[in-house]
């Protein structure tokens, strides 16, 4: 973010949060949608915005009414069978990680050097940040470092990180190099209107569950297996903050992500009187910011 009057950007050395837009929008639009959150978080965090790798054949809900001139529109995953999308899971994750790496490197190039600590996403981007945090959890538990992806070794696309934010990684699928995003030690995720299920970004040789969706698909292959549910291997245990609009048509699926995929001991919920959009008013934004600051301090992401 630019500083006024040519002054040094005061956020350059702050802890950083990687922000993922919803399906059918883009990073430019999401920056505008996050303006109230960004303003409130500016004393504590630097926000960087990633652009999804896949062109969206259709804009997201209500996008055209406000942002019709702000295309092209992008998506992280497909939600319709006719979407042009990689049919191979490894190819899909390689593209996803490549887009996230590009955002990380672009922010580094601006002179930012704070550690990457958190993820924030809205709608499809929220599903993605939950999935990225789950990948970090699985790879840490398996000894694969801060993260990893599907493929050979620890994950589909993994490797060294940026600066002090990296805790290691694994081999990339097909030996295509290392992913920065997969090696970062993510501390928490802010999930705004994110729906179930979590998407698997981990090599099946490291972790596999029928309760996770494939990145090349648009849902689960079969109804949940009760035995697999009871095993609880699909539960995200790293800290999450869920933000639900009580007038959002997708609220049941947002609640399912919270209730069925996240550990109640580490998940927090903020509800507000809104539809499928980001909160803008201070009365709606402040509770989200308060929860983020609490979690950041508890996890050591923020030392104030």
More confident position, 256 or 221: 256
Query: How much is the average pLDDT of 262-278?
Result: 98
pLDDT above 90: residue 254: yes
Q: Which residue is associated with the tokens 């990684």?
A: 169
Q: What is the pLDDT of residue 116?
A: 98
pLDDT above 70: residue 145: no
pLDDT above 70: residue 290: yes
pLDDT above 60: residue 165: no
Instruction: Find which of 79-93, 169-183, 240-254 is predicted with most confidence, using mean pLDDT.
Output: 240-254
Packing angle between helix 251-261 and helix 124-141, nearest 10 degrees? 10
Which two three-digit tokens encode residue 121? Answer: 């996403």
Cβ(189)–Cβ(118) below 8 Å:
yes
Cα–Cα dist 105/17, whole Å: 13
Cα–Cα dist 175/158, whole Å: 10
Residues in the chain: 304
pLDDT above 50: residue 141: yes
Q: How confident is the model at residue 252 (pLDDT cuts 50, 70, 90)?
A: very high
198: how many CB neighbours lie within 10 A of its CB? 25
Calculate ∠ Cα 99-134-104, nearest 5°. Answer: 25
**Taking all residues of the chain, what is their mean pLDDT, rounded to a whole number?**
86
- Ramachandran sector of residue 75 (left: φ over 0; alpha: ψ -120 to 50; beta: rest): beta
Dihedral over alpha carbons 23, 125, 83, 98 (to 10 degrees): 120
Q: Residue 22: what are its φ and ψ, rounded to 5°?
A: -80, 170
Closest to 196 in 3D by CA, of 210, 208, 213, 209: 213
Domains parsed from the chain with CATH numbers = 17-299 (3.40.50.1820)
pLDDT above 50: residue 49: yes
Closest to 74 in 3D by CA, of 100, 55, 49, 92: 55
Pairing state between β 54-55 and 74-75:
antiparallel
Cβ(14)–Cβ(59) below 8 Å:
no
Q: How confident is the model at residue 176 (pLDDT cuts 50, 70, 90)?
A: very low
Closest to 178 in 3D by CA, of 161, 158, 151: 158
- Ramachandran sector of residue 64 (left: φ over 0; alpha: ψ -120 to 50; beta: rest): alpha
Q: How confident is the model at residue 293 (pLDDT cuts 50, 70, 90)?
A: very high
More confident position, 8 or 136: 136
Q: Annotated active-site positions, please?
A: 123, 248, 276
Q: Which of 28-32, 83-87, 160-164 shows the lowest per-residue confidence on average (mean pLDDT)? A: 160-164
Cis status of the peptide bond prior to 72, with omega within 30 of 0: yes
Stated pTM of the model: 0.88
pLDDT above 70: residue 149: no
More confident position, 215 or 289: 289
Query: How much is the average pLDDT of 247-256?
Result: 97
């Amino acid at each position: 973010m630019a500083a006024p009057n040519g002054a040094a950007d005061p956020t350059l050395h702050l802890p950083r949060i990687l922000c993922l837009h919803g399906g059918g929008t883009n990073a430019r639009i999401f920056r505008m949608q996050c303006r109230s959150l960004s303003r409130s978080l500016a004393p504590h965090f630097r926000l960087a915005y990633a652009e999804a790798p896949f062109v969206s054949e259709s804009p997201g809900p209500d996008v055209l009414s406000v942002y019709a001139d702000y295309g092209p529109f992008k998506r992280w995953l497909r939600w319709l069978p006719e979407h042009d999308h990689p049919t191979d899971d490894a190819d899909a994750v390689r593209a996803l990680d490549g887009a996230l790496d590009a955002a990380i490197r672009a922010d580094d190039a601006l002179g930012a050097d704070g550690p990457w600590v958190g993820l924030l996403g809205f709608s499809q981007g929220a599903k993605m940040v939950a999935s990225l945090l789950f990948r970090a959890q699985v790879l840490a538990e398996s000894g694969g470092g801060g993260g990893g992806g599907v493929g050979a070794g620890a994950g589909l696309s993994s490797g060294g990180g940026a600066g002090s934010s990296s805790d290691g990684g694994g081999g990339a699928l097909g030996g295509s190099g290392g992913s920065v995003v997969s090696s970062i030690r993510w501390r928490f995720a802010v999930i705004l209107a994110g729906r179930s299920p979590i998407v698997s970004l981990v090599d099946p040789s490291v972790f596999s569950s029928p309760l996770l969706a494939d990145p090349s698909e648009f849902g689960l292959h079969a109804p949940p297996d009760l035995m697999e549910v009871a095993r609880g291997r699909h539960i995200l245990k790293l800290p999450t903050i869920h933000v639900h609009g009580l007038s959002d048509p997708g609220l049941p699926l947002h609640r399912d992500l919270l209730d069925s995929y996240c550990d109640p001991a580490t998940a927090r919920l903020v509800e507000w009187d809104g539809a499928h959009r980001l909160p803008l008013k201070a009365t709606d934004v402040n509770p989200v910011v308060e929860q983020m600051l609490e979690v950041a301090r508890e996890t050591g992401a923020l030392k104030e």
